[in-house]
Amino acid sequence: MRTQVGIVGAGPAGLLLSHLLHLRGIDSVVLEARSREYVEQRVRAGVLEQGTVDLLNEAGVGERMRKEGLPHHGIELRYGGAGHRIPFEKLVPGRAITVYGQQEVVKDLIARRLADGGKILFDVPDVAPHSLEKSPYLTFQGERLDCDVIAGCDGFHGVCRPSIPEGVLSIFQRDYPFAWLGILARVPPSSEELIYAHSDRGFALHSMRTPEISRFYLQVPTDTSIDDWPDERIWAELRARLETVPGFELTEGPIFAKDVSAMRSFVAEPMRHGNLYLAGDAAHIVPPTGAKGLNLAVADVRLLTAALADFYETGSTGLLDSYSATCLKRVWRAQHFSWWMTTLLHTFEADDAYGGRLQTSHLDYVTSSTAAATTLAENYVGLPFEPGASHA
């Protein structure tokens, strides 16, 4: 087998890259360790930045998102018994977020790639990259796929990043002393916009997936087991952390999914070794507080598409050579914003009265200063893409 770009991973990064390359006349093959059913049902983030929404629409894969996605023009910061809205329409006119589950983006991309004749191979768990600095190829199940370039879009636990020789990468990471307990409930949202709640009991987030399904998160200890959190306890804790504003009542209903996620920040530099290019979670992880993970992956593959198109059209390696450095500028901005949102809203050591007062002071500043609120808003809806890297 031969293709121009061998893509490892059929998550949103790998699938979008394959689609964008197709639009530029570049062939690719996507290899995925899991089944199609698994990747289409895997629940992940659901907040799309303005740039991500625009790119999906421009690339012709946004029809269902436009029908079913939920545009939001603000978020609420709730603390100290009051809610404070951050109005995107006022602070960053013309830009918003759209709530649309990552698994829905994946379904749309798979359907489009297959309709266009794209090649996605599922259930191939033994993928291995080879000859990264010369003539790269991938092996899997006794097969060999020769390619010009390998795109590692296989996530934090994938095979591509570990295939880079020891000593090449610099790793930057931070683990947080808490986790998130996430649930999906078959219940209409209790608010039209996301609520980020800070309290002495810990952080809570009220989100949604559809007008009939709500998504909630609770800050919990890192050693939390789902078995320790029956439905009754979850709803009681959500009420305690969210029903802190007069007149607000949390609508409860059947919970049909639970998960516990560790909180970490991670960056691997550079995002390229030879003819292997890392994208998305294979290269960087952010805590979900700032809703940046999927959106960073989209920004990565947008740049990689432009670089590969330029290479095949002109023979120039300039954009490929600058791929890592260009991506990392955005990655580190998102790392800082995600860290900032996390430290602003979560409860740390119970006896750290000084830190608690600093948090309250900072929240007061963000919710009372137009300049501070604008900083939050423009980072949350997503900074503009770099010029000169369109998919078209």
CA dihedral 140, 143, 149, 153 (to 10 degrees): -20
Q: Are 148 and 287 in contact (CB under 8 A)?
A: no
Decide: helix, strand or coil at residue 302. helix
CA dihedral 83, 87, 88, 89 (to 10 degrees): 150
Q: What CA–CA distance (Å, rounded) separates 197 from 194?
A: 10
Phi and psi (nearest 5°) for 129?
Answer: -85, 150
Q: What CA–CA distance (Å, rounded) separates 88 from 72?
A: 8
Decide: helix, strand or coil at residue 128. strand
- Single-letter code of the amino acid located at 35: S
Active-site residue set? 72, 196, 288, 292, 380
User: What is the β-pairing status of strands 213-220 and 272-273?
Assistant: unpaired
Q: Where are the alpha helices (DSSP H) in 244-314?
A: 293-314
User: Two tokens at 246?
Assistant: 């007069």
User: Two tokens at 278?
Assistant: 């890392």
Q: What CA–CA distance (Å, rounded) separates 95 from 308?
A: 29
Distances (CA, A) of 334 to 52, 132, 133, 284: 14, 29, 30, 10
Decide: helix, strand or coil at residue 144. strand
Residue for token pair 């390998």: 150
> CB-side exposure of 271: number of CA atoms within 13 Å?
34
Decide: helix, strand or coil at residue 243. coil
Q: Are 235 and 187 in contact (CB under 8 A)?
A: no
Q: Are 197 and 173 in contact (CB under 8 A)?
A: no
